[in-house]
C-alpha cells in the first residue's frame, strides 16, 4: 500500500468536515477521498477540476497548514491527513488524460486581460460554456504570477504548459506579448465585438521601503528578480527585506543562483511573519538565515544599513515595534532584495474612461466583479491586492457567473 492510500484510509470521512470548511474554495474533500478509495480516480479528478480549474496548482502552493490540513480532526492529536498530496496526484493525472470540449457553442466573445490565477479560471469556465475567449497576456507565456512570481522549484512550469494545452483544446485563443491599454484599448475591444471584458492584470509594481538608496545598482525588487533570476548578477552575499512568501521565494532563489549567504531581515519576529510556517522552514532547510527585529535604514554601496527594533504589545495584544536608538549597523553584502508587496500598474485605467480605482490604485469592483464601467469585470489581485491563489480562484468563479449572466442579458 502506498503512502497516499494509507492517507486516504486514515481519513475519518467526517460528516461535518472541518477540512472542507477550512478550504477557501470548499473542496469536497471527503467525497474526493471516498472516490479515491473506491478506485474512481478519473471521477475524483473531474470533481476537483469542476470545483477548481487550478486544483493541480492549489494542491502545491496553497497554505495547507492554515486550510485543509490545519482544520483536519486527525491533526488534533496526531498528523493531519495530507489531502493535498492526493489532490495533486488526482489533478495532474486528470489534466494529463482528459480531453476538454465546450458544452455548447456560443457567438459571444469575451476578452480576458491577464492570465494569472483569476484569468485562467475564468477562461476555463467560460470556454467550457461555449464562449469565444481571447486571452491577452503582456508577457511571453501565460500564467502571470504563477509563472513569473513563483520559482520553478516550488511550481513546475510544465503544469502551466499543460493548462495552456487544455485551454487551446477548448478553443481559447491566446495573444502573448500584448499589452492592453496604450495601443489596443478597452474601447477597441468593444468595437471589435467583445461583449464583455475581464481585467485580471495582477499587481506588478513593487512597493518601496521609502528609504535612501533604493535606486542604487545593488538594490533589486523581488517581483522583478523572480521573473528572470538568471538576468541578475547578485554576488555571493545577499540581504532580503520582507516577511512574506515572496521574500522566502527570493531568498531561496538567490541561493540557487550563485549566492552563498542569504539573510532575511525583518523588523518583527517569526510569529509575525506572513509567510507560512512551511515556507519559512523550507527556507531554513535550504540554508537561508534570518536576522529578526532589524529594520532597514538605508541601502549603500557596501550593503544594508539597519537598526535594531524591539517588540511592543499593547492592551489589545496588537504587536508593533520601535527602533532602538544608537543600534544602527551595516550588513556588508553584494545585493539587497526588497520584497514588501506589490501594487497594480495603470496601463489600462490611464487609457480608458469610466474605470475607477481606489487610493491604492486597485480597481473598484463589487462582490460580483462589476467595475464602474458597464461590461468590464475584474477580480484577483488587481482588485483585492496580493492574496493567495485559491482566494483568486474562488472570487473568479463568482465573476465568471456574473459575466455569463451579463452576456445573456444582452441577447
- Asked if pLDDT for residue 62 goes beyond 60, the answer is yes
Position 348 scores a pLDDT of: 80
Residue identified by cell 469592483 is: 365
CATH class of 109-203+354-409: alpha beta
Check if the beta carbon of residue 199 is closer than 8 Å to that of residue 332: no
Give the gyration radius of the chain's Cα atoms: 23
111 Cβ contact list (under 8 Å, min separation 6): 134, 136, 180, 189, 194, 196, 197, 198
As a whole number, mean pLDDT of residues 174-178 equals 97
Position 349 scores a pLDDT of: 77
* CA torsion through residues 141, 144, 145, 149, sign: positive
Give the strands of the sheet with 194-199, arranged side by side. 173-175, 132-136, 109-113, 194-199, 376-378
Where do runs of H (alpha helix) occur along 1-54? 3-10, 18-21, 29-37, 41-51
- pLDDT tens track for 320-344: 889 999 999 999 999 999 999 888 8
Across 301-320, b (16+ Cβ under 10 Å) vs e yields eebbbbbbbeeeeeeeeeee
183-192, 203-212, 300-309: least confident range: 203-212
Instruction: Using DSSP, state whether 213 is helix, strand or coil.
Output: coil
For the domain 3-94, what is the CATH code? 1.10.1060.10
> In the structure grid, which three cell numbers stand for residue 60, read together?
502545491
The bridge status of strand 342-343 relative to strand 205-206 is antiparallel
Q: CA dist 388 to 20, 244, 272, 325, 395, Å? A: 17, 11, 18, 37, 11
- pLDDT tens track for 99-145: 999 999 999 999 999 999 999 999 999 999 999 999 999 999 999 99
For the domain 206-340, what is the CATH code? 3.50.50.60
Query: Percent of the chain having pLDDT more than 70?
Result: 100
Position 345 scores a pLDDT of: 77
Where do runs of H (alpha helix) occur along 199-338? 222-227, 245-256, 277-286
Instruction: Using DSSP, state whether 244 is helix, strand or coil.
Output: coil
- pLDDT tens track for 292-318: 999 999 999 999 999 999 989 888 888
- Asked if pLDDT for residue 231 goes beyond 90, the answer is yes
Cα(287)–Cα(264) distance, integer angstroms: 11
| In the chain, domain spans | 3-94, 109-203+354-409, 206-340
Position 1 scores a pLDDT of: 56
- Asked if pLDDT for residue 55 goes beyond 70, the answer is yes
Q: How many CB atoms lie within 10 A of CB 5?
A: 12
User: With bands split at pLDDT 50, 70 and 90, how would you rate the model's confidence at 411?
Assistant: confident
How confident is the prediction for the chain on average, in pLDDT? 94
Q: Do domains 3-94 and 109-203+354-409 have the same CATH topology?
A: no
User: With bands split at pLDDT 50, 70 and 90, how would you rate the model's confidence at 350?
Assistant: confident
- pLDDT tens track for 162-174: 999 999 999 999 9
> In the structure grid, which three cell numbers stand for residue 132, read together?
469565444
Rounded to two decimals, the pTM is 0.94
Amino acid at each position: 500500500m502506498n503512502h497516499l492510500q494509507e492517507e486516504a484510509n486514515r481519513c475519518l470521512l467526517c460528516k461535518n468536515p472541518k477540512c472542507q470548511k477550512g478550504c477557501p474554495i470548499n473542496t469536497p474533500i471527503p467525497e474526493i477521498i471516498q472516490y479515491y478509495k473506491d478506485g474512481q480516480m478519473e471521477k475524483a479528478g473531474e470533481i476537483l477540476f469542476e470545483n477548481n480549474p487550478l486544483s493541480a496548482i492549489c494542491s502545491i502552493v496553497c497554505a495547507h497548514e492554515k486550510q485543509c490540513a490545519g482544520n483536519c480532526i486527525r491533526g488534533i492529536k496526531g498528523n493531519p491527513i495530507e489531502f493535498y498530496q492526493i489532490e495533486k496526484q488526482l489533478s495532474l493525472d486528470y489534466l494529463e488524460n482528459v480531453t476538454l470540449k465546450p458544452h455548447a457553442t456560443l457567438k459571444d466573445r469575451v476578452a480576458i486581460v491577464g492570465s494569472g490565477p483569476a484569468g485562467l479560471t475564468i477562461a476555463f469556465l467560460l470556454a467550457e460554456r461555449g464562449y469565444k475567449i481571447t486571452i491577452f497576456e503582456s508577457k511571453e507565456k501565460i500564467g502571470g504570477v504563477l509563472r513569473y512570481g513563483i520559482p520553478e522549484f516550488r511550481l513546475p512550469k510544465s503544469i502551466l504548459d499543460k493548462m495552456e494545452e487544455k485551454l487551446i483544446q477548448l478553443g481559447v485563443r491566446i495573444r502573448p506579448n500584448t499589452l492592453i491599454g496604450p495601443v489596443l484599448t478597452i474601447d477597441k475591444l468593444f468595437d471589435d465585438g467583445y461583449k464583455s471584458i475581464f481585467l485580471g492584470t495582477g499587481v506588478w509594481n513593487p512597493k518601496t521601503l521609502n528609504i535612501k538608496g533604493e535606486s542604487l545598482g545593488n538594490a533589486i525588487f523581488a517581483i522583478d528578480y523572480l521573473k528572470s533570476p538568471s538576468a541578475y548578477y547578485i554576488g555571493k552575499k545577499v540581504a532580503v527585506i520582507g516577511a512574506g512568501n515572496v521574500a522566502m521565494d527570493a531568498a531561496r532563489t538567490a541561493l540557487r543562483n550563485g549566492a552563498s549567504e542569504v539573510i532575511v531581515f525583518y523588523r518583527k519576529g517569526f510569529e509575525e511573519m506572513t509567510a507560512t510556517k512551511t515556507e519559512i522552514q523550507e527556507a531554513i532547510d535550504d540554508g537561508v538565515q534570518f536576522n529578526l527585529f532589524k529594520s532597514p535604514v538605508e541601502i549603500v554601496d557596501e550593503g544594508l544599513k539597519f537598526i535594531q527594533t524591539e517588540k511592543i504589545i499593547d492592551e489589545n495584544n496588537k504587536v508593533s515595534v520601535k527602533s532602538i536608538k544608537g543600534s544602527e549597523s551595516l550588513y556588508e553584502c553584494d545585493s539587497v532584495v526588497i520584497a514588501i508587496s506589490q501594487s497594480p500598474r495603470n496601463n489600462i485605467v490611464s487609457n480608458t474612461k469610466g474605470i475607477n480605482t481606489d487610493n491604492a490604485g486597485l480597481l473598484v469592483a463589487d462582490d460580483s466583479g462589476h467595475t464602474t464601467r458597464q461590461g468590464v469585470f475584474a477580480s484577483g489581485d488587481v482588485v483585492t491586492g496580493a492574496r493567495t491563489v485559491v482566494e483568486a480562484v474562488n472570487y473568479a468563479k463568482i465573476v465568471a457567473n456574473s459575466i455569463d449572466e451579463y452576456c445573456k442579458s444582452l441577447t
